[in-house]
Amino acid sequence: MGYLVPVAQVNGNASPRLQELEADRAQLRTVVHSLTEERDRLRQELDRSRSEARQYRDALYALTRQPFTFEEDERAGIEANGVTLEEVIEQLESQ
């Protein structure tokens, strides 16, 4: 079985194009590493957000003693305008 010998070792010097490609490869490896780290960070953030959402859902179930859901337009309104915990409690107590 053979192995790859870089052109620079065979010819004694690398062509400008080969040097350019090697530089591009090094730069791309850096970008891939950076993107991989960002992906991992975002996955962890997503996991934390999902866990937090489950906790809020469970708290609402406990307060209402029944399943609690939001319609899509209600959820969008809450995300856009925000709701304080006091407002949620007030609404639950008024039911």
Tokens 């999902």 map to which residue?
50
**What's the rounded Cα separation, in Å, for the pair 32 and 9?**
28
Helix (H, G, I), strand (E, B) or coil at 5: coil
Whether the Cβ atoms of residue 14 and residue 8 lie closer than 8 Å to each other = yes
| Cβ neighbours around 78 below 10 Å, total | 13
pTM, full prediction: 0.48
Provide the residue ranges of all domains of the chain, joining segments of one domain with +.
12-94
80 pLDDT more than 70? yes
Instruction: Please report which confidence band the pLDDT of residue 41 belongs to, taking 50, 70 and 90 as the band edges.
Output: very high
Helix (H, G, I), strand (E, B) or coil at 67: coil
Higher per-residue confidence, 51 vs 65: 51
pLDDT of residue 13: 67
pLDDT of residue 63: 78
Residue type, 91: Q
**What's the rounded Cα separation, in Å, for the pair 87 and 51?**
22
Tokens 């209600």 map to which residue?
74
